[in-house]
Amino acid sequence: MNGLGARVGVVGEEIMRSSMEIARASQEQQTSGKEGAGVEDGGSDLNKLAPLSEEDKSTIRFNAFGTAAGFFVNGYMYDINSVLLTMFSDIFPSVNDDNTIQAAVGVSMLYGVMFGLLAFGFIADYFGRKKGLIMCSCLVLLGNILGIAMNGTTHVGMIWMMCIALGVAGLGMGGEYTCNVPNVMEDSEQVNTKTRGRRVAILVMFLETAGNYAPFVVQLILVAVACRHAYLGAASGCNWNVVARLSFGIATIPVITVLIFRTRMKDSLMFKKDQQRRQRRYDGLDLFVILRYFMPRTIGTVIMWFLIDWINYSQGTFGALILQHVIGVSLFKSIWLALAEGAAWLIWLPLVAAFVVDKWGRRKTEMFGWIWLASTQIINTGFFWQLKAQPIAWIIWSTFVGGFQNFVFIPVYLVPAEAFPTRIRATMYGVASSLGKMGGIVGTTTFPTIWRRWSGGVKQTDAGLRKTMWFYAGMEYLGLIICTFFVPEYSHRSLLGEDNRFVELRRRHCARFALRFGVTQEDLNREDLGHYNLKTLAHLKLFGNKERYVEYRRLYIASLCRAEKMMVMPHVEYVAGLPTDYKDLTLFSSLLLKRKLGKEGYAQFEKNSEEMGYYDSTKEQEMFYEKQIDHKVVDEIPGLTAEAMDDSKANQN
């Protein structure tokens, strides 16, 4: 109870600190003038949010509580199957010898999480974070009800129904990430950009880690009552029905509580502002900008999540089974050992990582985590037999090593929520994390097979486990290399500036496409431009004739120009002349551009990228539409058309 009270105190302290920071941020916004015009996001009112009202402050605090409670439930559900798998393996020899059913119990929830991430990413961006969160809680509740009611003609049939229940709950758990993490990230941007990472890490990762140990508390009591004397291959008098059904039943209480709170949560101010600007509309420019500018960071976020989930879920799902093999403890003892490990060490490491992730930066924090995991895995494997001979040494060392996964996990959670603009933040977070969750599926599915294969193909042995650990050390060094080159660094950078860069990249490429594909003033003046869309364009590209496709493409680009408020060709030509330099903050892209552009060219590239973050496009409206434009002003507008270039040469002659 002391540990639980301490954790509640930490969360309460963080929420109180957030309240103070909200008040301070609101005062700074109210008193700030135009002093920030020379720094990022200071040059445009469109790039700022209105000062926080009392209602906004209350909403941010309530959202913080809803986030913390939601991820605590997520953590509980993630580890609910670990003890159940160990119990079924102890009781039923057929389960212990069946790699397929072991893998199914381990990955059924992950399949649900993966599809939930993809589906709810789009839902959160298009319909709103709050609506998605309510649907997520309903799915988790449904999964728990199915878990309570699981049944079958044999124990195998019942286990398969449990897998279905875990998969349904997983759909909602996946949506929890894509709806909640972007929302709390955007709220944290409003509170304090410099401590944004710490706030999100505590409300998300720390609470999820605390939730990971909640089922162990519940199941320790249940096993003590119903399965106290269960060992691997020797389960006398174990009432497994009580343990399995009540594990789900008790979780239903916090799930219903979170669902009630979800009805009072609200979308972030940044999301509301972006919705007003784009009006729930996606087009070809979004896809173009993502593919052209966001691929290196997408590679980094996907592979990092893939590798760490492979390692974490496979070792976590089979952790109690490994413990029974290595040091030969009972089911009851393996649970309280896991609980003791968490209370003593593992549950506190997310707090340590949360407090350094802003100071060190995302990339350096993650690099430290990968170096530590890889190096200690080598030590763990090299001294495997010595550690096995001393069970206490094995427990202490493996606990000490495992806690440092949080130095990888926290940046892995943060970066996808920072690396993409609000317009597509939840969608891309879902794409990156769902592909990453495939690592958990692959790792959990293959772990028992790899272990058995390297044990000689008959029975899982300690020698086979040691070889598997060598393999995992190699994966962790691979994670270090990819992290170094492909993880972007977003510490202390304004998310509002990134939103403005995305909008500007859309506008500038739209204008360049207009010149490239021959858009005219007559095209911009057409009344039917609202009928042109990307779906029809793709259909004509694949199945239509070339002339019809070329004409439709030109008019579709004209419709995009109208949507971006470029109504006249001089305006289009002006915007097309603006630079499209964008620094994606990965080391790989930086090294590549420095080699390609040289020192001076790269410095100008960085300057152009930073200036794009606070570019004020409203001045263009004044220039082209709100004032009378004389011929002298028009001649000063940079144009990219062939006619303009010819006129310029004629004037020089």
pLDDT digits (tens, 9 = 90+) for 22-31: 444 444 444 4
Statement: residue 134 has pLDDT above 90 = yes
Q: Write down the mean pLDDT value for the chain.
A: 81
Q: How far apart (Å, rounded) are the C-alpha atoms in residues 228 and 357?
A: 42
CB of 438 closer than 8 Å to CB of 303: no
Instruction: Give the H or E element holding residue 230.
Output: strand 230-231
Give whichever of 346-355, 475-484, 622-631 has the largest mean pLDDT: 475-484
For the ranges 63-77, 110-124, 309-323, 501-515, the lowest mean pLDDT is seen at 309-323
Q: Greater confidence, 319 or 262?
A: 262
For the ranges 16-20, 53-57, 245-249, 374-378, the lowest mean pLDDT is seen at 16-20
Token look-up 């972030």 returns: 268
Q: Enumerate residues 6+ apart whose C-beta is below 8 A from 470.
A: 381
Q: Greater confidence, 350 or 49?
A: 350
Q: What pLDDT is attached to residue 645?
A: 35
Q: What pLDDT is attached to residue 333?
A: 67
Q: What pLDDT is attached to residue 450?
A: 83
Q: Enumerate residues 6+ apart whose C-beta is below 8 A from 370.
A: 408, 476, 477, 479, 480, 483
Q: Greater confidence, 355 or 318?
A: 355
Q: How far apart (Å, rounded) are the C-alpha atoms in residues 382 and 385?
A: 8
CB of 188 closer than 8 Å to CB of 22: no
Q: What pLDDT is attached to residue 518?
A: 94
For the ranges 76-80, 121-125, 356-360, the lowest mean pLDDT is seen at 76-80
Segment 341-351, tens digit of pLDDT:
777 666 788 88
Statement: residue 259 has pLDDT above 80 = yes
Query: Buried b vs exposed e over 333-349: b needs ≥16 C-beta within 10 Å?
Result: bbbbbbbebbbeebbbb
CB of 188 closer than 8 Å to CB of 199: yes
Q: What pLDDT is attached to residue 272?
A: 87
Statement: residue 90 has pLDDT above 80 = no
Q: What is the mean pLDDT of residues 109-116?
A: 90
Q: How far apart (Å, rounded) are the C-alpha atoms in residues 189 and 369?
A: 25
Q: What pLDDT is attached to residue 456?
A: 78
Burial class of 382 by CB neighbour count within 10 A (0 to 12, 13 to 18, 19+): middle
What is the 8-class DSSP label of residue 265?
A: -
Q: What pLDDT is attached to residue 412?
A: 92
Q: How far apart (Å, rounded) are the C-alpha atoms in residues 290 and 297?
A: 10
Return the structure tokens found at 214. Answer: 């909640």
Please state, for a pLDDT cut of 70, what percent of the chain lies above it.
Answer: 82
Q: Enumerate residues 6+ apart whose C-beta is below 8 A from 300.
A: 415, 482, 483, 485, 486, 487, 488, 586
The rounded Cα 511 to chain-centroid distance in angstroms is 32
Q: What pLDDT is attached to residue 607?
A: 93
Return the structure tokens found at 345. Answer: 């060490």
Sign of CA dihedral 87, 88, 89, 92: positive
Q: Where are the alpha helices (DSSP H) in 92-195?
A: 93-96, 99-126, 129-148, 155-191
For the ranges 38-42, 166-170, 278-282, the lowest mean pLDDT is seen at 38-42
Q: Greater confidence, 97 or 271?
A: 271
At 10, is the pLDDT very low, low, confident or very high (cuts 50, 70, 90)? very low
Within a 10 A sphere around the Cβ of 34, how many other Cβ atoms? 9
Phi and psi for 268 in degrees, rounded to 5? -70, 160
CB of 218 closer than 8 Å to CB of 250: yes
Cα angle 10, 16, 21 (rounded to 5 degrees) comes to 120
CB of 486 closer than 8 Å to CB of 296: yes
Identify the CA nearest to 422 among candidates 268, 633, 533. Answer: 268
Burial class of 155 by CB neighbour count within 10 A (0 to 12, 13 to 18, 19+): middle
Query: Buried b vs exposed e over 527-559: b needs ≥16 C-beta within 10 Å?
Result: eebeebeeeebeebeeeeeeeebeebbbbbbbb
**Maximal C-alpha separation, the chain:** 102
Within a 10 A sphere around the Cβ of 385, how many other Cβ atoms? 10
Q: What pLDDT is attached to residue 643?
A: 43
Statement: residue 525 has pLDDT above 90 = yes
Burial class of 423 by CB neighbour count within 10 A (0 to 12, 13 to 18, 19+): buried
At 327, is the pLDDT very low, low, confident or very high (cuts 50, 70, 90)? low
Q: What is the mean pLDDT of residues 52-70?
A: 86
Q: Could you write out the DSSP letters of every residue in 449-497?
A: HHHHHTTTSSS--HHHHHHHHHHHHHHHHHHHHHHHHH----TT--HHH
What is the 8-class DSSP label of residue 533?
A: -
What is the 8-class DSSP label of residue 52?
A: P
Q: How far apart (Å, rounded) are the C-alpha atoms in residues 235 and 332?
A: 11
Segment 163-222, tens digit of pLDDT:
999 999 999 999 999 999 999 999 988 888 888 999 999 999 899 988 888 888 888 888
**Per DSSP, what are the bridge partners of residue 230?**
235
Segment 146-156, tens digit of pLDDT:
999 988 888 88
Q: What is the mean pLDDT of residues 114-122?
A: 92
Q: What pLDDT is attached to residue 478?
A: 93
Return the structure tokens found at 217. Answer: 């508390």
CB of 260 closer than 8 Å to CB of 163: no
Q: Greater confidence, 90 or 552?
A: 552
Give whichever of 2-6, 282-286, 398-402, 599-603 has the largest mean pLDDT: 599-603
CB of 215 closer than 8 Å to CB of 73: no
pTM of this structure: 0.77
